[in-house]
Chain A
Amino acid sequence: MTTPLDGNVLAGALANLLVPDPTNLQARCTNCGQVAPIAEAVVYPDAPGLVARCRTCDHVLAAIVDDKDKTYLSLSGLSAIALPK
C-alpha cells in the first residue's frame, strides 16, 4: 500500500516551476480543454490585476495581482502546464 507523504516531497518537482519565462509553455484551459501557449491568451492589463483569458472560450486562465511586497498568482483556469525538464 502506498503511504501518503507530506508537501515537502514536492520541493524538487515544484522547483521546475521557476522557469525563467513560462509564456511559451503549453497549457490547457479547464473550461474548453484548448491547449495553447500561455503567450496566446487574451490579457486584460487595465483591470486591478492582470487577467489572462482563454482565446477560445474567454474563461479566466490566470490572474496576477501585485501588492507592494508580494504577488498573488492564480492559475485556477489551467488544468495543466507542460513544464520542460
Chain B
Amino acid sequence: MRLVLDVPTWPGNEAGTHVDVRLTAPDGYQATRSYSVATSDRGRVVLGIEELPDGEVSPFLVREVRAGDKLEIHGPLGSYFLWRPGQSNRPVQLIAGGSGVVPLHAMAAAHAAASDSTLFRLVYSVRTPAHVYFRDELAALAGPSFTVDYVYTRQAPPGWGGTVGRLTRDSLASTTIAPHERPRIFVCGSTRFAETVAAWLLDLGHSARDILTERYGGK
C-alpha cells in the first residue's frame, strides 16, 4: 500500500532513509514504527506500507487512514543504509524481498534523477505479480544503467518465461553482479530473507564490507 503524505516542511531526503510514524490513542497510548521513504518531492513524501498480520500500526495505516488525516512523523532518519550519487563509481546491486523494495526503489530513482551512469541492478523477490510495489515506476527507470530481475515465489504473470519459486543461491549468482566487479550491495527484506541472502553473497565471494542489509522484521 502506498501512503502519500503532504509534509510542507520536509527538508528533502537521501535515498534509503526512513521515517518513524507515531500514533497516539486518546488515552495517550502510543505506538511507533519505522517505514522507508519510497520517494519525496517538494513536500510530498511517499511511503510503502506492508500490512503485517497481528500488527498494530500497519493495519491502521492500510485500512483506517483517510485523506485529510493528520499523522505525526519524525524524519528523515538513518545515515547508514543510503546511496548517494557520485559517492563511488562501483556498480550497485540491489536485492529486495517483498516490501523491502521501498528504499531500493528510492535509490534507483535517485540514481536516475542524478543521471548517474553507475551500473545499477535490482533483483526483486515477490510472491505474485499482485504483490509488486512500484512496477510502473521501476519499468520507467529501466534502461542501459538500470535493470530489474523479478523472482516470483508463488505465482508468475502469464507468459512468464522463468521458473516460479524461491530465490536460490544459484539463481542469485546468475542474476547479480559478479564478485570480481566489486559491486556495493544493498539487501532489504524480512529478517530471514536478508540473512539468507547475505550469507549466500558471502559464499559467492562478496566481501562483508560491501554488503549493507536492512531488515524490516516479520517472518
Contacts and interface: CB of A to CB of B under 8 A. Distances in A.
A12 interface: no
A39 B80 contact: yes
A27 B34 CA distance: 23
Contact of A24 (B28, B80, B217): B80
B79 interface: yes
Interface on chain B toward A: helix, strand, loop, or mixed SS? loop
A37 B32 CA distance: 23
Interface string B7-30: 000000000000000000000101
A15 B30 CA distance: 29
Interface on chain A toward B: helix, strand, loop, or mixed SS? mixed
A21 interface: yes
Interface in A57-71: 66, 68
A23 interface: yes
B79 A23 contact: yes
Interface residues of B, number: 9
A45 interface: yes
A66 B24 CA distance: 14
Given A68-B28, A68-B30, A45 B217 contact: yes
Contacts of A23: 78-80
Interface in A5-40: 21, 23-24, 37, 39-40
Interface in B7-63: 28, 30, 32
A17 to B, nearest CB: 15
B77 A21 contact: yes
B81 interface: yes
B30 A39 contact: no
A48 to B, nearest CB: 13
Contacts of A68: 28, 30
Contacts of B77: 21
A77 B32 CA distance: 25
Contacts of A37: 80
Interface in B75-89: 77-81
Contacts of B28: 68
Contacts of B217: 45
Interface of A: 21, 23-24, 37, 39-40, 45, 66, 68
10 A-B pairs closest in CB distance = A39-B80, A24-B79, A21-B79, A24-B80, A23-B80, A68-B28, A23-B79, A37-B80, A21-B77, A23-B78
Interface of B: 28, 30, 32, 77-81, 217
Given A21-B78, A24-B79, A24-B80, 7 more contacts: A21-B77, A23-B78, A23-B80, A37-B80, A39-B79, A45-B217, A66-B30
15 contacts: A21-B77, A21-B78, A21-B79, A24-B79, A24-B80, A37-B80, A39-B78, A39-B80, A39-B81, A40-B80, A45-B217, A66-B30, A66-B32, A68-B28, A68-B30
